[in-house]
């Protein structure tokens, strides 16, 4: 792996360790290019923006096998961490991910458990195992797996998101808030992280912070129109029906056939007819 300055100067060269992790020391702020290569895989280039305020930058690299991209089709990308696995373990991990995608959760758990048993320091293995437990709603085992992944690698954004969702489902809102704030501290803005934090603050009845997080969500992903329904709920709780109505109508304008549209349309009619509104309009997740 090589890191280059914008002008093309080489900053440094490194290789991954046995867990697929890599490090560059004392990188100056600015735009950089990371080049990753491995025999049998396409060379990957990705742009990185290093800021002075960052205590560190966490990057996941995915590689694509050579010769598999035929007529737009090919094998899924492979992370550098996976490439560091012994071949038989990597095959087991691939099978586990495939079974998870097919919603064959019991088979996925068997494959992924074999991977983590063989490679107990493989953080990504525990992360995917957690997802395999979480999908069929085994929250206790899912939480153990996600927390184990974070014990091995504290900068795994997906684990924080999944733990926050799990905590939110169990109405452990303070835990959900803590996981989300940890996720957002490790960098790389996440609209989902801010959205879920907005939901969590709403559940904690902190409506001003909830509004702020939903506004950040809107700025990060303007195509996610459901956030206007959430903002409408916030304004209803704050006794600001005119602002709530504006958000509901904004949602209907942007997504008139969306899954929340029938309920939102009914509420808008009621609000216009009576000059009031419900305490909240709470569409399903």
- Summarised one tens digit per residue, pLDDT across range 163-174 is 999 999 999 999
Q: Is the pLDDT of residue 57 over 70?
A: no
Rounded mean pLDDT, 148-163? 92
User: Is the per-residue pLDDT at 59 higher than 80?
Assistant: no
As a whole number, mean pLDDT of residues 250-261 equals 93
Q: Which two tokens stand for residue 72?
A: 């737009």
Which runs of E-coded beta strand occur in the chain?
Answer: 2-4, 10-13, 30-36, 44-50, 62-63, 78-79
User: pLDDT class for 96, splitting at 50, 70, 90?
Assistant: very high
Q: 154, 148 in Cβ contact below 8 A?
A: no
Rounded to the nearest integer, the mean pLDDT of the chain is 85
Global pTM exceeds 0.85: no
- Of the two residues 280 and 227, the one the predictor is more confident about is 227
How many residues does this entry show for the chain? 285
Which tokens go with 148? 């184990």
Query: Based on the number of CB atoms within 10 Å of its own CB, is 237 exposed (0-12), middle (13-18) or buried (19 or more)?
Result: middle
Is pLDDT larger for residue 253 or for residue 25?
253
Q: Which of 88, 85, 40, 84 is nearest to 65 (CA)?
A: 40
Average pLDDT on 51-78 reads 58
Measure Cα distances from 259 to 172, 226, 246, 247 in Å.
Answer: 27, 9, 19, 16
Strand order in the sheet with 44-50: 10-13, 2-4, 30-36, 44-50
pLDDT of residue 262: 94
Distance separating alpha carbons of residues 154 and 143, to the nearest angstrom: 15
Q: Are 253 and 211 in contact (CB under 8 A)?
A: no
pLDDT for 285 equals 42
Closest CA to 227 of 186, 262, 264: 264
- Token pair, residue 222, equals 């303007």
Q: pLDDT tens for residues 212-255?
A: 999 999 999 999 999 999 999 999 999 999 999 999 999 999 99
CA distance linking residue 227 with residue 260, whole number of Å: 11
The C-alpha atoms of residue 118 and residue 139 are separated, in whole angstroms, by 23
CA count, 13 A, side-chain hemisphere, 47: 4
Residue spans per domain, the chain: 1-84
pLDDT higher at 82 or 160 = 160
Q: What mean pLDDT comes out for the span 169-193?
A: 89
Residue 234 gets the label, from left (phi > 0), alpha (psi -120 to 50) or beta, of alpha
Average pLDDT in the 249-266 region? Answer: 94
């Amino acid at each position: 792996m090589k890191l280059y300055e914008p002008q093309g100067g080489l900053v440094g060269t490194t290789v991954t360790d046995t867990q697929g992790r890599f490090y560059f020391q004392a990188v100056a702020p600015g735009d950089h290019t990371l080049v990753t290569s491995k025999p049998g895989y396409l060379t990957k280039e990705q742009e990185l923006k290093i800021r002075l305020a960052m205590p560190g930058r966490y990057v996941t690299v995915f590689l694509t096998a050579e010769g598999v991209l035929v007529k737009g089709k090919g094998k899924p990308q492979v992370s550098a961490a996976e490439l560091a696995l012994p071949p038989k373990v990597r095959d087991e991990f691939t099978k586990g991910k495939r079974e998870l995608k097919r919603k064959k959760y019991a088979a996925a758990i068997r494959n992924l458990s074999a991977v983590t048993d063989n490679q107990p320091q493989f953080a990504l293995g525990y992360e995917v195992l957690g997802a395999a437990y979480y999908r069929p709603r085994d929250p206790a085992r899912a939480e153990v797996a996600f927390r184990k992944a974070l014990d091995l690698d504290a900068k795994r954004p997906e684990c924080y998101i999944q733990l926050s969702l799990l905590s939110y489902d169990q109405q452990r809102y303070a835990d959900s808030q803590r996981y989300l704030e940890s996720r957002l501290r490790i960098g790389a803005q996440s609209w989902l992280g801010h959205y879920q934090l907005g939901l969590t603050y709403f559940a904690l009845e902190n409506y001003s912070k909830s509004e702020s997080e939903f506004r950040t969500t809107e700025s990060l992903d303007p195509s996610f129109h459901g956030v206007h329904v959430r903002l409408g709920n916030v304004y209803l709780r704050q006794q600001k029906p005119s602002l709530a109505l504006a958000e509901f109508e904004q949602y209907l304008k942007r997504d008139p056939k969306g899954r929340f549209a029938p309920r939102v349309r009914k509420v808008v009619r009621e609000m216009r007819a009576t000059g009031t509104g419900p305490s909240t309009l709470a569409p399903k997740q």
